[in-house]
Structure 1
Amino acid sequence: MFIKKSILSLVLLLTCIMAAKAQVKIGFEVSFKEPQAHYAEVQMNISGLVKDYVDVKMPVWTPGSYLVREFEKSVEEFKATAGGKTVKVEKVRKNTWRIFSAKAANIKINYRVYAFEISVRTPFIDETHAFLSPTGIFMHPDGLIKSPSTVKIIPFNTWTKVSTGLEPVAGQQFTYKATDFDILYDSPIEVGNQDVFEFMAAGVRHEVAMYGGGNYDKEKLKVDMAKIVEEPTKVYGENPNKHYVFIVHNFLRGGGGLEHLNSTTLGATRNAYNTEAGYKGFLALVAHEYHHLWNVKRLRPVALGPFDYDNENYTTNLWIAEGFTSYYENKYMHRAGFVDANGFVSDLAGAVGTVLNIPGAKYQSAASSSYDAWIIGYRPNENSKNNSISYYSKGEVIGILMDLEIINATKGAKSLDDVMKAMYLQCKTLKRGYTDAEFKAMVEKVSGISFTNFWAKYVNGVDDAEYVKYFGYAGVDVTSENATPGKPVSGASGQLTNNGTIAVTSITRNSAAWAAGLNVNDEIISLDDVTVNDALTNIRLKSPMLSLEALPVVSKKNIGDVLKLKVKRDGLDKEISLTLKENPSVRLKATINENATPAQKAVFAKWSGK
């Protein structure tokens, strides 16, 4: 009887708690009094949360960009009223404000956010538009991350449009709803006069919101972006959205993207759409971010959701989340018809060559790169290329090798596509992310072979890719040659200064400069007694950044020759002698073998999806 009463009491308590949470209403109004000064005015209204005090918190990072960015640093003039009266506010943590509401049923919070960092992951506001990256704008009551909320946007008086993946509230202009804060934080909002057009693909309505102008052809983009959308939908067998939004920021020079649950933010170069490289580059970015609809947002490492918005969320599997997505953008570009077979294999061989040429690839594994994203990946320094490797780059290479291994082992019956689809369905069924062991187990189930050695070499190890072997499975011959045969290299790069010197910015591990003790921040005054200004005579540089090999005084030397430098270090003169070395970098060339065996052709057909 006691146990039954205890259980009944617990059920009643939980019921009361759930009912109390259900009565809580949270709403935001965002307006722009001074957009030219880069401010958003935010009003947060909370009702039904009857407590002595209420804590509200702002995320310190944004999912998809693995660095604690401290968004709370941009919050100003935080104040609150409870029951219509001004109440005490105390900041109790770097990203937490405590409102002493004295059990008032209604709380109104006002604060301003300064937004002047151009990126796909941070808010930006000026007189022309507002990009609201939500983790840098909104807050949530502590403990109520699963509560619904509404957002009302009040555009500046010259703005007329709002674009977002959030669901609109019927009958209320520019008002949207989110079922919980995970949804709100995953739904960027573009406000202004963006050029908006739509297309249908995979049964889904797609909206494209173009800010910043550009020489794009809307009708062409509708057709070509639709082709991209169809490809990953074929791989996974379903498209999880009814409405998807591309927010595209066109700048003088732009790039990058950030994935969201039913939208993405892309950076693009406004006048590059009419060039082959620029247009294909944009479509490849679309392919990359759209693939994240599945890989990362739904097919995800177990650590990436539910999110802890206060701290780092560590995982060793970003090489799958991002690296495989980089690989798949190549597959989709080929399958959609934008890159031919020769271009496809050349691009992938180039990806392998890129990793081979980064010294840090021999010191950091893909798993370690993933885990250390929070401290290294988004905070590169002058030595990063020497001791670390991007999980994008390393993961892409692992994806290439793994795909070919699976296809070869199954004689063309299965591929990495089957693994990705199976893992997507597993995550959907279990309603959680995967572990590294679960992903490996699925690879082995689909392929029918052990991947223990593969994991040891390429995921947790730092072995160079056996590209001849793996590409050979598909009848693709890959050869290697020195990137600059017979040419000496110093291993030092720098930037021209106004003083007519070269400020050293990078030293490559085990290079001539590395061995001789040339340092980053040294200022090179002369090379073999030739001043930098004289060494640059009759040379036209495209940028102030250059390697020493760009100077004839260096390039005319032979491997093994000595280069004498006069440098200034910390205000003191110093002489350094470099014995020039052969360039350790390689260039890979991929060629489809016309005499490939039927088995190799079967592998290639499955690999390319053609």
Structure 2
Amino acid sequence: MKALLLLTILFLSISSNAQTNSYTISFENAVHHEAEITATFPKITSEIFSVRMSRTSPGRYALHEFAKNIYAVKATDGQGKSLAIKRPNPYQWDISGHDGTVNISYTLFADRADGTYSQIDETHAHLNIPATFMYAPEFSERKINVNFQPREDLNWKIATQLPLVSNTTYSADNLQYFMDSPTELSNFGMREFEVTEADGKKKNIRFVLHHNGTEAELDTYFEKIKKTVLAEKAVFGELANFDYGTYTFLACYIPNASGDGMEHRNSTILTNTRSLAEGGMEKNMGTVSHEFFHSWNVERIRPKSLEPFNFEEANMSGELWFAEGFTSYYTNLILCRAKLITDQEYVEGITGTFNYVWNSPARQFFNPIEMSYQAPFVDAATSVDPVNRENTFISYYSYGSILGLALDLSLREKGLNLDDFMKLVWTTYGKKEIPYTVKNLNESLNTYAGKDFGDAFFNAYIYNGNMPDYTTLFKTVGVTLSQQAAVANFGASVTINASLQGEIRRNTTIGSPAYLGGLEKGDFITKINGQALPSSTNFEDYIKTFPVGTELTIDFLRNAEPQKTTVKLASNPEYSIKLADNPSKKTLKNRTAWLNVQE
């Protein structure tokens, strides 16, 4: 009986291994940004076996066409016989004549370290999985093993959210988790701390940093990480249940990186050229705050439109104003609550985002849901034709952030707050991992704050592009919203060149003086009121020397042809946001409740 049991276990083990796709990746030619990758796919029953490179990446919504960096592709069967390969499209390889096993080998070129792409050089192998590994769509539910072969001569180690199998081999239960698991191989430093939940469950937070700084800098920075993690935990009342008990920050603060942050289920990528010693100790923390908040909001409080993630087409979602935007609202608020920035720095820091959203003409074209639909065109997407996004698009990060602020302050007027609404969404959808829709969010707000309040908020600001009364809302927490002193506004981004011509660098804003005067991007202003432009000041400051309402005669060149128009200067539409002086005790209490961690 015992022998039979052992044979059964052995059979199941062999059977399980036979159903596992396996990869090996090595970096002998890292100096030239190349990796060599092999993959084995067993137990194939289809006559034509197809492998692909992803066109998208988790956390991104546009197409990126990772196949462009793949070459020297070869395929053999289980006996080593070369197999024929056909390309039905730019991102797929069809293989025929196999014996049930297909081995593939190829070279990857990778030289961009951010949240979307991969970078290989002699400092590290920074791997975003969709940008690195081919996959077989028909085996999306198969287990995957990957053997990373670090450069021992460069003291590389491996950091990833993938669970360790043995030595340098890691695994994923399926394709979705594999693709969602960025990996860093480098001579990094690492710090960890453990959080004990109210139920006694322990969760580990790991911070991995590849940088050119000191251990002391890493220690100091890690203390900021801990404060941020705990301030965000207070919003939801608990950390997410990480699949393998650990959440891993993968940070690369190196000169050859590109600034970015990208959330994943149990980890995040953080990249920047800014070192800790050169301002990163403070300025890199915003990305840390934003990306870790995503471990709840996006990764588990998950839009139904992104579940499952599609690796073959662009991923469009109407919920990004909430998924990205509300996360953006909390980004700096958390740093304030963690005492990493002051109340004044936080409040005054809202100003730029507020003016961008408030003064944009784009709200007449798209509401926040429709702005979210634009993600495949703007989220690190590339195109060569000119667009009119200055007038037609507001980032769903910014738009949602300002609406999150309004919802929080509106709820606080009712004795409620956004933290507790987020907790409700977490317990209803995120903790149970039930994907949500915009309608679900509307219903949740109705449950939390009452149907009249919830429907009014969604009808005015989500389904339509209206703006809340921020002046009144800010007063409730001792913050002033005031228009800047009456200074002239031209309504165009103009740079004076060496020839004293003012080049209009961007599309003029709909309704602005420059727009109404018929000026457009690419025009060169040669004279104003018959006078040459000054060489001693910038264009914006020059315009401020004229009173509001002044009519200016503009001589300009369009396509090298002289033209003339009249522009009537308007008042600068921007606002300033500041802490009010001497707020009442009640108002100060409201502000304290808003800007401090509430356990």
Q: Normalization by structure 2: what TM-score?
A: 0.87
1:380-395 aligned within 5 A: 383-395=388-400
Confirm or deny that 1:255 pairs with 2:259. yes
CA displacement 1:85-116 (0-9 Å, x = unmatched): 111111123322111143x1321111222222
* Per-residue deviation, residues 49-75 of structure 1 (Å, max 9, x unmatched): 233121112221112121111112222
For 2:138, what is the secondary structure of its paired residue? coil
Shift of 1:469: 2.8
Secondary structure in 1 matching 2:206 = strand
> 1:198 is matched with which residue?
192
Which residue number corresponds to residue 468 of structure 1? Answer: 471
What's the CA shift string for 1:480-529, capped at 9, x where partnerless?
Answer: 122xx333222222456677644422122222221222221224445555
Return the match for 1:313 from 312, 315, 322. 315
Per-residue Cα deviation, 1:413-442 (whole angstroms, up to 9, x for no partner) = x42222222222333565431111111111
Structure 2 partner of 1:73: 68
Q: Specify the code of the residue in structure 2 equivalent to 1:336.
A: A
Per-residue deviation, residues 300-346 of structure 1 (Å, max 9, x unmatched): 11111211211122221101111111111233212222234444444
Q: Judging changes above 3 Å, is the alpha-carbon distance between structure 1 residues 263 and 560 closer, same or farther for their aligned structure 2 residues?
A: same
Match of 1:135 in 2: 130
Tell me the equivalent position of 1:16.
none
Tell me the equivalent position of 1:14.
Answer: none
Structure 1 position 155, deviation (Å)? 2.7
Q: Work out the CA distance in 2 between the residues paired with 1:405 and 1:23.
A: 58
The whole-number CA distance in structure 2 between the counterparts of 1:85 and 1:249 is: 41
Structure 2 residue aligned with 1:145, among 123, 140, 149? Answer: 140
Letter in 2 for 1:513: A
**1:375 partner SS:** helix
Mapped to 2, the partners of 1:318 and 1:71 lie a distance apart of 24
Task: Tell me: CA distance 1:522–1:37, structure 2 relative to 1, closer, same or farther (3 Å).
Answer: farther
Q: Alignment length, in residue pairs?
A: 569
Find the residue that maps to 1:167 and give its secondary structure: coil
What is the TM-score of this pair, normalised by structure 1? 0.85
SS at match of 1:419: helix
Shift in CA distance, 378/166, structure 1 to aligned 2, threshold 3 Å: closer
CA distance in 2, matches of 1:89, 1:254: 35
Match of 1:10 in 2: none
Secondary structure (helix, strand or coil) at the match of 2:271 reads strand
The residue type paired with residue 504 of structure 1 is I
Please state how far the C-alpha of 1:35 moved relative to its aligned partner.
2.1
State the Cα distance separating 1:292 from its structure 2 match.
0.5
**1:169 equivalent in structure 2:** 164
**Residue type at the aligned position of 1:558:** P
Deviation at 1:374, TM superposition (A): 1.3
Inter-partner Cα distance in structure 1 for 2:488 and 2:573: 10
CA contact (8 A) 1:299 1:423 kept: yes
Distance 2:94 2:160 in 1: 31
| 1:267 matches 2:256 | no
Structure 1 residue runs without a partner (length 5+): 1-18, 540-545
Q: Is the CA contact 1:353–1:588 (under 8 Å) kept in the aligned structure 2?
A: no
Measured after TM superposition, the shift of residue 77 of structure 1 is 2.0
Q: Is the 8 A contact 1:20 1:48 kept in 2?
A: no
RMSD of aligned alpha carbons:
2.9
> Residues 212 and 430 of structure 1: is their aligned pair in 2 closer, same or farther, counting only changes over 3 Å?
closer
Whether contact under 8 Å (1:475, 1:593) holds in the other structure is no
Residue 430 of structure 2 corresponds to residue 425 of structure 1: no
Contact 1:382 1:505 in 2 (8 A): no
8 Å Cα contact 2:354-2:402 kept in structure 1: yes
Rounded to whole Å, the distance in 1 between the matches of 2:364 and 2:157 is 47
Q: Does 1:609 align with 2:563?
A: no
Q: Distance in 2 between matches of 1:170 and 1:119?
A: 27
Sequence identity, in percent?
25
Cα distance in 1, alignment partners of residues 219 and 113 from structure 2: 28
Shift of 1:201: 4.3
The structure-2 alpha-carbon separation of the partners of 1:139 and 1:286, relative to structure 1 and needing over 3 Å to count, comes to same
Assess if the C-alpha contact under 8 Å between 2:30 and 2:120 holds in 1.
Answer: yes
Residue 361 of structure 2 corresponds to which residue in structure 1? 359
Map 1:16-31 to 2 at 5 A: 23-31=18-26
Equivalent pair of 1:197/1:209 in contact (CA under 8 Å):
yes
Task: Tell me the equivalent position of 2:439.
Answer: 437
Q: For residue 92 of structure 1, what is the aligned residue in structure 2?
A: 88
Measured in 2, the distance between the counterparts of 1:201 and 1:224 equals 15
CA distance in 2, matches of 1:287, 1:525: 46
Amino acid at match of 1:318: L
Paired position in structure 2 for 1:549: 540
Residue ranges of structure 2 left out of the alignment (5+ in a row): 1-13, 197-201
- Structure 2 equivalent of residue 458 of structure 1: 461
CA distance in 1, matches of 2:15, 2:562: 72
Aligned-partner Cα distance in 2 for 1:272–1:563: 48
CA distance in 1, matches of 2:591, 2:442: 21
Instruction: Give matches, 1:340-419, under 5 Å.
Output: 340-348=342-350, 351-376=353-378, 378=380, 383-409=388-414, 411=415, 414-419=416-421
Q: Residues 481, 37 of structure 1: CA spacing in aligned structure 2 closer, same or farther, 3 A cutoff?
A: same
CA distance in structure 2 between the aligned counterparts of 1:435 and 1:492, rounded to whole angstroms: 39
- One-letter identity of the residue aligned with 2:288: V
3-state SS in 2 of match to 1:403: helix
**CA–CA distance in structure 2, aligned partners of residues 92 and 311 of structure 1:** 16
Q: 1: CA distance between counterparts of 2:364 and 2:253? A: 37
What SS does the aligned partner of 2:232 have?
A: helix
Q: Distance in 2 between matches of 1:366 and 1:66?
A: 16
Work out whether residues 528 and 552 of structure 2, in 8 Å CA contact, stay in contact via their aligned partners in 1: yes
2:5 counterpart residue number: none
- The residue identity in structure 1 corresponding to 2:354 is V
The corresponding residue for 2:199 is none
Out of 280, 283, 301, which is 1:281 matched to? 283
What's 2:224 paired with? Answer: 224
Once residues 545 and 495 of structure 2 are traced to their aligned partners in structure 1, the CA distance between those partners, rounded to angstroms, is 21
CA distance, structure 2, for counterparts of residue 498 and residue 89 of structure 1: 56
CA distance in 2, matches of 1:247, 1:133: 11
Distance in 2 separating the partners of 1:570 and 1:25: 62
In structure 2, the CA distance between the partners of 1:488 and 1:348, relative to structure 1 (3 Å rule), is: closer
Aligned residue for 1:119, secondary structure, equals: coil
C-alpha change, 1:456 and 1:273, in structure 2 (3 Å) is farther
Q: Indicate the residue corresponding to 2:106 in structure 1.
A: 111
What residue identity is the alignment partner of 1:384? R
State the partner residue of 1:542: none
Deviation at 1:261, TM superposition (A): 1.0
Question: C-alpha distance in 2, partners of 1:525/1:38?
Answer: 47
Aligned counterparts of 2:565 and 2:34: Cα–Cα separation in 1:
51
Shift of 1:398: 1.5
> What is residue 3 of structure 1 aligned with on the other side?
none
What residue in structure 2 maps to residue 6 of structure 1?
none
Partner amino acid for 1:386?
N
Contact 1:377 1:390 survives alignment (8 Å): no
CA contact (8 A) 1:163 1:209 kept: no
